[in-house]
Structure 1
Amino acid sequence: MTNGITEVRKADAIFLTGSNTTENHPVIGAQIKQAIKNGTKLIVADPREIELAKYAEVFLKIKPGTSIALSNAMMNVIIGEGLHDEDFIKERTENFDEVANLVKDYTPEKVAEICGVDAEDIRKAARIYAEAERGSIVYCMGITQHHNGTENVMSLSNLALATGNLGKEGTGVNPLRGQNNVQGACDMGALPNVFPGYQPVNKPEIVEKFEKAWGVTLSKEVGLTIPEIVHGAEHGDIKVLYIMGENPMVSDPDTAHVEKGLKNTFLVVQDIFLTETAELADVVLPAASFAEKDGTFINSERRVQRIRKAVDAPGVAKSDWEILMELMNKLGYDKKYNSAEDIFEEIRTVTPQYAGITYGRIEEVGIQWPCPTEDHPGTQFLHQGKCARGAGLFMPVSFSPSGELSDEDYPLVMTTGRVLYQYHTRTMTGKTEGINEKAPESFIEIHPSLAEELGIEDGEMVKVSSRRGEIQTKAKLTDIVSEKVVFMPFHWAEGAANVLTNGSVLDKYSKIPELKVCAVKVNKIS
């Protein structure tokens, strides 16, 4: 997030898109409700009428995969009506004219047809956001998990730059991270193209820095993303695959493809429970949970926070750092640490954003990076005064349809997400009796008129098919989805949504698969 979590309460307008916040991030969802109570105007764009849509000044029930068209249409209105911040654009950005020229073709009327919404609602949304003194954009994986997810984000960035909603409190472009400590994992280089601190692996001076710090020779090649790894494993190119705290047999698209890949490599799984993925492993390494270890977690607003061991880990389970240290020692790298704090001290020496953070400084309250020195207070919001790269870069991005559209054989568009009462692949929540009473099983949301056409009643089992497989799940009739759109949460291994989703269409920049759009058909089971 460019800005802090509590800053949403200080925004005059919030543009919420691709995020079912009250169910996926309920604490932040509550903050948004508090903001609305205090006068903040809310714009919601989503294929489903999520809870926060009821509080919105404008709700845009867009077709899945049409977010860029919507952002460009809002830009069309903002520029056409002179609502853009000319001083901010002139002093702090570049490439504005190219975007302005592109969005001329994205009139509200034209985009209303693409998105399936009303042109006047697009205009109203654009005006609310642009006229706000402090406008905040909040998004999640409903924006990123598309073939053009990176460009979706670029189009949102264009809106913030055009209106001067960057580098000040209560504004920004704010992605909500999908799991606990995803931000921390990325900060520490758990990405194929960077070392800790987002330092590129293919820059000679950066490689030299880490080689000196660690006393080894390092590769200068960018690595593979998860979809590329699974593909490589299926074709015999990946000899060993080490998975920590992830359950791709439920969370990744096209489960049959994932299973082939995992079965065709030497698989090591490090986790706190025997997940569906761990059941396929050649070796399982039992790890300690959050309550059984010391360390730090970094949340969505870049806040580095202490965690402290409360109970002992069961059996032979160990902290992740202990497992990794013992493994690297066995492999010949003789480096010893005595604690998680030892490792954090090393992190500080090689990661500029963390240089000023110590365990003592975060004893009670965490610090938001970047924090370059020990007398620095941390950074509440990014890009104050100027953008981190210098000039904020406008990026002209054109709308293109999703990689798989509905047709005669598969006439419906399916999108996926989460529900409040389960978490991710249920590795933990699936073991909690009360939670499973609230959300016991897989289901598919179907509009009542579609259900009537198909002869399907609420609560009955139906067959859902895509080009990749078929499942059986329970029908849930609701008008929060459109007539030709269905929705499935992906939590359950039985009736798994990701048996159906499309793993072959990838974002050209990030290689993330198009999880949020695929073509399906629903049939009544005779």
Structure 2
Amino acid sequence: MAGLAAAFGSGAMTNTIADIETADVILVTGSNTTENHPVLSTFIKRAAMKGTTVIVIDPRKIKLTEHSAKWLRPTPGTDIAWINGLMHVIIEENLMDSDFISNRTEGFDALQETVKKYTPKYVEDITGISSDDIIQTARIFAKAKRASICYCMGITQHTCGTDNVKSLANLSMLCGHLGKPGGGVNPLRGQNNVQGACDMGGLPNVLTAYQKVDDAGALKKFETSWNITGLSSKPGLAVTEMIQKAEHGDFKSLYIIGENPLVSDPDLNHAEKAFKNLEFLVVQDIFLTETASLADVVLPSFCFAEKDGTFSNTERRVQRIRKAVEAPGFAREDWKIICEIATRMGTPMKYDNAEEIFEEIRSVTPSYAGITWERIDKIGIHWPCPTLDHPGTPILHTVQFTRGKGLFHAIDHQPPAELPDNEYPLMLTTGRVIYHYHTGTMTMKSEGLNIMSPECFVEISSGDADRMGIANGEMINVFSRRGKIKARAQISPKAVNGTVFIPFHFAKAAANRLTNAKIDPVAKIPEFKVCAITIEKAA
């Protein structure tokens, strides 16, 4: 997420969900949209039915390929190479938007020099995508009047995730597809209100609205609002850094709210050791998760339907949520729990309700300043909305970028941190299925969903299955350098020889016992999407 913020100022969709449907071309990459964002995917499918050209670039033959005009299948971990390949063709054939480049960007010469070597043949050798497909896709994307890019964690969860996002931004700017309807670069948020959490400073290096913690003016504003002095200007730790320090004994306690890292973190065997090395663990959640089971204290909190407040969704729309049902037992609202703990620790925090908290948010958050409880009573408003008479901003960068001119980044392909070898000859990528959400904290409480998706599976190509003598439905062991799981083989046309897919929802066969904890140096996001494995029949 920090990487997205670095690339686009906010890490948010530049355009709206409905706006995607107005595009002439939609390029979807690193997103199994129909399973991970089923509502948003209806806009893409409907656009395809109306004549929009949908291009899917994904290592798996995902469901969305049934609605696409082109499907390109790259080797996992080679995104920068194929993006540079598209830009090479666009520049060579003079298909770029020269006026947009001249008037609204800088750094083009360095980009042009870098992509010179990414000829279609050179890219084919790296990615496995044919030269013809690179050329055709480049022409389709560049010649479109309005082209939208949609991406998700298949792009970001790499050691070069930040550079992957910057590369997509390069491609869009090169063709002048930013700042207008039907265009844009649109990250599809992986979880509900992730956008809102980031907007509220849920990243280690920023305050609300991505104001840097080392910005003296921003710190002074918060100190004045809170009537305190001495706010730290030092960025905090990313989650991945906390786990490393916990293992070494440098990090003593952890307070987790609404997260289940003992299923969702990479290299789980290592993560478990780190958690057990903590002196004090607090978990605040709606159910007793795998992580909560290890906690010293569990604080039961409200779910979304039991409280008032706001969510900021994937398209930057700030929306009211309202209490629909009473919460059970001793559960409390998250903000009330936090305020009570802070008060008992010597810093009194008291609010009467969620609206009062939102008023404070407005006072210190420029992009939310014009959004009031009354204004979003019925319909949400897209930030930035700086004043009370501002209508909100459905489309970003219409006049200029956050930094003024858009900056091209000259980026070279770099391989994943771990590649297959003789000992671990297969490549693993992970993701979700439509029936379960994240670590199954909520969805696995539903009998119907458990019937539809009862257990973990290993999606494998028929070629690999035949070569290893594995039958469909057979139990197999999967090993990486970090761990082992046992799950059921699922021979599937979605899979390609040499690459295996495992959903990460299932704690009993947690895919993240296998994944690599190597991180992107900027965003600190682990490389969930590529690691080396081997497979054998289970005894």
Aligned to 1:471: 485
Structural mapping, 1:125-140, within 5 Å: 125-140=137-152
**Rounded Cα–Cα distance in structure 1 between residues aligned with 2:129 and 2:104:** 33
* Structure 2 letter corresponding to 1:10: T
Assess if the C-alpha contact under 8 Å between 1:249 and 1:258 holds in 2.
yes
| Cα-to-partner distance string for 1:11-63 (whole Å, 9 max, x where unaligned) | 00011000000000001111100111111101111010111112222111111
| Matched positions, count | 525
**Rounded Cα–Cα distance in structure 2 between residues aligned with 1:8 and 1:22:** 15
Aligned residues: percent identity? 57
Q: Secondary structure of 1:384's partner? A: coil
Assess if the C-alpha contact under 8 Å between 1:418 and 1:424 holds in 2.
yes
Shift, 1:209, TM fit: 1.5
Shift, 1:210, TM fit: 1.1
Aligned to 1:253: 266
Q: Does 1:418 align with 2:416?
A: no
Q: Does 1:86 align with 2:98?
A: yes
Assess if the C-alpha contact under 8 Å between 1:294 and 1:309 holds in 2.
yes
Q: Secondary structure of 1:256's partner? A: helix
| Cα-to-partner distance string for 1:429-470 (whole Å, 9 max, x where unaligned) | 000000011011000101011111111100011000000010
**Rounded Cα–Cα distance in structure 2 between residues aligned with 1:295 and 1:362:** 11
Q: Does 1:263 align with 2:276?
A: yes
Aligned to 1:332: 346
Shift, 1:334, TM fit: 1.4
**Rounded Cα–Cα distance in structure 1 between residues aligned with 2:139 and 2:45:** 21
| Cα-to-partner distance string for 1:64-89 (whole Å, 9 max, x where unaligned) | 00000000000001101111000000
Shift, 1:337, TM fit: 0.1
**Rounded Cα–Cα distance in structure 1 between residues aligned with 2:537 and 2:45:** 39
Structural mapping, 1:218-367, within 5 Å: 218-265=231-278, 266-367=280-381
Normalising by structure 2, report the TM-score. Answer: 0.97
**Rounded Cα–Cα distance in structure 1 between residues aligned with 2:344 and 2:253:** 16
Q: Does 1:448 align with 2:453?
A: no
* Structure 1 letter corresponding to 2:512: N
Stretch moving more, 426-435 or 384-393:
384-393
Aligned to 1:35: 47
Aligned to 1:22: 34
Q: Does 1:113 align with 2:125?
A: yes
Normalising by structure 1, report the TM-score. Answer: 0.99
**Rounded Cα–Cα distance in structure 2 between residues aligned with 1:153 and 1:335:** 39
**Rounded Cα–Cα distance in structure 2 between residues aligned with 1:405 and 1:212:** 51
Aligned to 1:48: 60
* Structure 1 letter corresponding to 2:407: L
Structural mapping, 1:51-90, within 5 Å: 51-90=63-102
**Rounded Cα–Cα distance in structure 1 between residues aligned with 2:520 and 2:267:** 16
Q: Does 1:208 align with 2:220?
A: yes
Stretch moving more, 231-240 or 89-98:
231-240
* Structure 2 letter corresponding to 1:190: G
Q: Secondary structure of 2:319's partner? A: strand
Q: Secondary structure of 1:197's partner? A: helix
Assess if the C-alpha contact under 8 Å between 1:236 and 1:264 holds in 2.
yes
Shift, 1:195, TM fit: 0.5
**Rounded Cα–Cα distance in structure 1 between residues aligned with 2:324 and 2:476:** 45
Q: Secondary structure of 2:434's partner? A: coil
**Rounded Cα–Cα distance in structure 2 between residues aligned with 1:83 and 1:263:** 56
Stretches of structure 2 that go unaligned for 5 or more consecutive residues are: 1-12
Aligned to 1:520: 533
Aligned to 2:471: 457
| Cα-to-partner distance string for 1:119-168 (whole Å, 9 max, x where unaligned) | 10111111111110000000000000000000000100001110000001
Aligned to 1:103: 115
Assess if the C-alpha contact under 8 Å between 1:169 and 1:381 holds in 2.
yes
Shift, 1:511, TM fit: 1.0
Structural mapping, 1:367-406, within 5 Å: 367-406=381-420
* Structure 2 letter corresponding to 1:357: I
Shift, 1:215, TM fit: 2.2
Stretch moving more, 474-483 or 348-357:
474-483
Q: Secondary structure of 1:186's partner? A: helix
**Rounded Cα–Cα distance in structure 1 between residues aligned with 2:339 and 2:492:** 51
Q: Secondary structure of 2:89's partner? A: helix
Shift, 1:264, TM fit: 1.3
Structural mapping, 1:179-198, within 5 Å: 179-198=191-210
**Rounded Cα–Cα distance in structure 2 between residues aligned with 1:416 and 1:455:** 23
**Rounded Cα–Cα distance in structure 1 between residues aligned with 2:509 and 2:418:** 21
**Rounded Cα–Cα distance in structure 2 between residues aligned with 1:103 and 1:449:** 35
Q: Secondary structure of 1:285's partner? A: strand
- Root-mean-square deviation (CA, aligned residues, Å) is 0.7
Assess if the C-alpha contact under 8 Å between 2:269 and 2:513 holds in 1.
yes
Q: Secondary structure of 1:284's partner? A: strand
Assess if the C-alpha contact under 8 Å between 1:58 and 1:124 holds in 2.
no
Assess if the C-alpha contact under 8 Å between 2:340 and 2:349 holds in 1.
no
Q: Secondary structure of 2:165's partner? A: helix
Q: Secondary structure of 2:505's partner? A: coil
**Rounded Cα–Cα distance in structure 2 between residues aligned with 1:20 and 1:434:** 22
| Cα-to-partner distance string for 1:387-442 (whole Å, 9 max, x where unaligned) | 12100100011001100000000000000000101100000000000001101100
Shift, 1:254, TM fit: 0.6
Shift, 1:98, TM fit: 0.6
Q: Secondary structure of 1:77's partner? A: helix
Assess if the C-alpha contact under 8 Å between 2:148 and 2:184 holds in 1.
yes
Runs of 4+ aligned structure 1 residues displaced above 3 Å come to none
| Cα-to-partner distance string for 1:346-401 (whole Å, 9 max, x where unaligned) | 00000000000011111111000000011111100100111121001000110011
Stretch moving more, 254-263 or 512-521:
254-263
